[in-house]
Amino acid sequence: MTRLWKQLRQRYLRPWRQVTYAGIRVHYKDHLDGGGTSFGQDFIPFLQSRRIPQQARVFEWCAGPGFIGFSLLGHGLCDTLCLADINGQAVEACRRTIRDNGLGDRAAVYHCDNLIGMPQTERWDLVVSNPPHFVDDFVGELKEHDAEWRAHRAFFAAVGPFLKSGGVIVLQENTRGSTVESFREMVERSGLSIVFSHGDAPERTLDNRFYFIGIMRRGDPVPPWAAASH
């Protein structure tokens, strides 16, 4: 009962908050933040360090309130933005941000279970995400736990047709929960390839260290910014 009351208080009684990234006011509630306001912001300097050109359309998978996606938009790393999440309140947060900042012509959000329900017309140059990091910890916690990597597997299996030629997926993972090899089989089985990793470790660690893994459709041309030699 105590846990249920805590969840209800977080969802409905605590006020909406805002954080501003490069001029965009992002609306959220504390319980919706899975790290997007902290380590999730590492996407910006990481992509800038690789000299990524402005992307026409970016998709944030497991977006929550869209901390990463809206930050990319504000920093000029993309022209338009697509967001999706399974949590209806996270989707409402994104809608509030879009309305408040007048982004109706540049950003869209969908209430999706993984990619189920995503309009088939969507096509993305870049996909970013800070997805659940743990297969064997935080059981029952939507933002942290991915049982048997089911969400990752379903995403990899479905994302290919939504990628433009040369489109890149960049996931932010945690060395305490995985290594690059944790995902290789499911990536390759889905017709995708790992093209780079950054900050990863050969084995899982006892502390939280966040790393990036770059993934593309097998056989697609690799854009210079995503080349493994960076």
- Among 4-18, 38-52, 147-161, 169-183, the minimum mean pLDDT is found in 4-18
Q: Which of 45, 35, 92 is nearest to 67 (CA)?
A: 35
Which tens digit of pLDDT belongs to each residue from 165-177? 999 999 999 999 9
pLDDT in tens, 177-201: 999 999 999 999 999 999 999 999 9
Write down the pLDDT at residue 5.
44
pLDDT over 70 for what percent of the chain? Answer: 93
pTM of the model: 0.93
Per domain, the residue ranges of the chain are 2-226
**CATH number for region 2-226:** 3.40.50.150
pLDDT of res. 230: 63
Report yes or no: 59 and 83 within 8 Å, Cβ to Cβ.
yes
Enumerate the H helices of the chain as residue ranges: 2-8, 43-49, 67-74, 88-100, 150-159, 181-189
Task: Please state whether 8 falls in left (phi above 0), alpha (psi between -120 and 50) or beta.
Answer: alpha
What was the pLDDT predicted at 9?
Answer: 54
Counting Cα atoms < 13 Å in the Cβ hemisphere of 68 gives 32
Phi and psi at residue 62, to the nearest 5°:
50, 50
Q: What is the pLDDT averaged over residues 196-207?
A: 96
Mean pLDDT of 113-130: 97
